[in-house]
A and B are shown apart, each in its own frame.
Chain A
């Protein structure tokens, strides 16, 4: 009796979890595909009432969106791969037990997780070295990530020492040991860190806010979405729903889209790339977390 109740409860609870997790995405998708003018009437829950791809056409007819997509993609690919390289090399260095500078290096690195100079000193340093308004501000300041390095180091330390030792006996150099022996053996953790750093780059927006505001060549998709969000936030403040409706009508007459529809379409545009890679990546996630600091 109790057993069956728990089974039933679990199934219902998990079903509900799935619905609550996915439904908001479905709702936003429906709004983005519904006629902007019609959306103002409300009642768009699951499916669009008046189907249209007009909002997307409008969004994609703006050339600056392609530039933003390029910036997002470039920082993800370039920043992601450089970050990964630094992470692996650093992890390898501090995993070598015989390395004389190991303790100093680890200490310097791990302390960065606790001691932060803060926003303004960091900002002034970036300004001083001329990275404000430069694409490289996305790549350079975040290259060393202590958390990811620790994850990789833990994994490397789990490999038998004899592997590296025997390679060394046969005269292999450090780089050769790293690339030909260590890296092939740590591919699972490399996959995890690749996911972390690329998604981190794709999702970033605050560095644009700080260092690239008002510069077209710095704007990323996330930042564009953030701007749309912020203006929507300010708009809802002072207005009743009636006024919002009036705005939307005016917008539709002048053949533009309503802010709500635009926001929905842009949200989907930014989310779709994550959803597309998600099925391929998700199997590594569980590993990712259990590889971290808290480990059974």
Chain B
């Protein structure tokens, strides 16, 4: 596997002055490229980097009326309040738990689907299944959440009716109103929505395994299951490891749409994740400084996690991500 090339070819060793001269000579020839770059780079600086300035709010008691310059400086007080808030640890737990559950269930489901698909020899069947399987990926979480709510509804929802018909339940259960089911519902709806699409990577990893391996294993008398176990799985292992590492790096950035749309006041203790905590304090309660401190905590930890994950992946020499 190789990532995207960022390196350049061999550059001749030049002295500083020569380098500068060369740079300006080249730059002179690239007026059009530079001209096109300026607005785009300016845009990136403005929309992506300028807001970083807002992080100073985390060290202030920011009041919109006073602005950045005259708001009172409070040092690390907002962070002290953040780390002293029991709710913060609950929210952190929810974030990590749901991210990990989604990651594990999602990875297992994708690998399983990819392997089963690769075992199908009828091309038309395989293609049709694949095409259908990634349909849910392209609908929004709003649509998916509506579907989940309809499906799990205690008023004639299919799932309750099915369990009652099987004798598992005696009367309908409001699954979305019970804290203990929330994480599972999130994980399963995630599997429903994303498995088909996520399986594509693993399927392409399987197709790139040398067919000779399967042929010689077959000659040696390996059964189909043995071939899956000893050739297919080890063959996609590098892909699995790299994707796992990278996804663990993004564990705090696992989104909030599911939690926001499927959650409700009854399950708030299980559904609130960091992003929603930031949103609640920032937008609903207008406690900007506190909210920025929480957001900053998340951003900083995320960057550390992602960079170490990418570093690890690179160290394992399996891929270079960007």
Interface residues of A, Cβ cutoff 8 Å to B? 2-3, 6-7, 9-11, 13-14, 17-18, 20-22, 24-25, 27-28, 31, 39-45, 86, 89-90, 93, 96-101, 105-106, 108-110, 112-125, 140-141, 143-144, 150, 153-154, 157, 173-175, 199, 202-206, 210, 222, 225-226, 228-230, 232-234, 236-237, 241, 244-245, 260, 263-264, 266-267, 270-271, 274-275, 278, 282, 285-286, 289-290, 293-296
Given A150-B322, A294-B243, A117:B150 Cβ within 8 A: no
The residues of B that contact A205 with a CB separation of less than 8 Å are 140, 142
Closest residue of chain A to B304, judged by CB? Answer: A114
- For the complex, is B45 an interface residue (Cβ under 8 Å from A)? yes
- For the complex, is B76 an interface residue (Cβ under 8 Å from A)? no
Give the complex CA separation of A274 and B45 in angstroms.
Answer: 34
Contact of A119 among B119, B120, B275 (CB under 8 A): B275
Contact of B261 among A31, A120, A226, A290 (CB under 8 A): A226
User: Chain B at the A interface: mostly helix, strand, loop or mixed?
Assistant: helix
CB–CB A122/B139 < 8 A: no
CB–CB A108/B45 < 8 A: yes
Output the least CB separation between A18 and chain B (Å): 5
Contact of B155 among A140, A229, A244, A290 (CB under 8 A): A244
Q: Looking at B45, B52, B146, which has the most chain A CB atoms within 10 Å of its CB?
A: B146
CB–CB B48/A112 < 8 A: yes
How many pairs, one residue from A and one from B, have CB atoms within 8 Å of each other in the complex? Answer: 289
Give the complex CA separation of A44 and B196 in angstroms.
Answer: 27
CB–CB A203/B113 < 8 A: no
Closest residue of chain A to B294, judged by CB? Answer: A118
Query: For chain B, which range describes its interface: under 10, 10 to 19, 20 to 34, or 35 or more residues?
Result: 35 or more
Closest residue of chain A to B226, judged by CB? Answer: A2
Give the complex CA separation of A230 and B176 in angstroms.
Answer: 13
Contact of B44 among A42, A97, A108, A206 (CB under 8 A): A108
- For the complex, is B123 an interface residue (Cβ under 8 Å from A)? no
| 12 additional contacts (CB under 8 A) given A10-B119, A293-B322 | A21-B192, A43-B156, A43-B161, A99-B30, A115-B303, A119-B283, A121-B54, A144-B44, A206-B257, A263-B150, A271-B143, A296-B208
Given A42-B161, A100-B23, A105-B41, A295:B3 Cβ within 8 A: yes
Give the complex CA separation of A157 and B113 in angstroms.
Answer: 32
Give the complex CA separation of A233 and B265 in angstroms.
Answer: 9
CB–CB B143/A99 < 8 A: no
The residues of A that contact B291 with a CB separation of less than 8 Å are 119-120
List the 7 shortest-distance A-B pairs measured between CB atoms, nearest first: A42-B156, A121-B54, A118-B295, A117-B51, A203-B140, A121-B51, A174-B32
Q: Looking at B37, B142, B263, which has the most chain A CB atoms within 10 Å of its CB?
A: B142
Give the complex CA separation of A97 and B6 in angstroms.
Answer: 10
Of B81-89, B98-106, B127-135, B179-187, which stretch is located at the interface?
B127-135
Give the complex CA separation of A65 and B53 in angstroms.
Answer: 40
Given A114-B306, A122-B51, A236:B264 Cβ within 8 A: yes
- For the complex, is B117 an interface residue (Cβ under 8 Å from A)? yes
Closest residue of chain B to A18, judged by CB? Answer: B132
Output the least CB separation between A278 and chain B (Å): 7
Contact of B295 among A96, A120, A153 (CB under 8 A): A120
Give the complex CA separation of A153 and B6 in angstroms.
Answer: 11
CB–CB A14/B117 < 8 A: yes
Give the complex CA separation of A222 and B141 in angstroms.
Answer: 10
- For the complex, is B136 an interface residue (Cβ under 8 Å from A)? yes
- For the complex, is B233 an interface residue (Cβ under 8 Å from A)? no
The residues of B that contact A295 with a CB separation of less than 8 Å are 1-4
The residues of B that contact A121 with a CB separation of less than 8 Å are 51-55, 57, 292, 295
- For the complex, is B204 an interface residue (Cβ under 8 Å from A)? yes
The residues of A that contact B283 with a CB separation of less than 8 Å are 119-120, 123, 210
CB–CB A42/B155 < 8 A: yes
CB–CB A296/B149 < 8 A: no
Output the least CB separation between A5 and chain B (Å): 9
CB–CB B204/A2 < 8 A: no
Give the complex CA separation of A267 and B55 in angstroms.
Answer: 39
Give the complex CA separation of A112 and B143 in angstroms.
Answer: 29
- For the complex, is B79 an interface residue (Cβ under 8 Å from A)? no
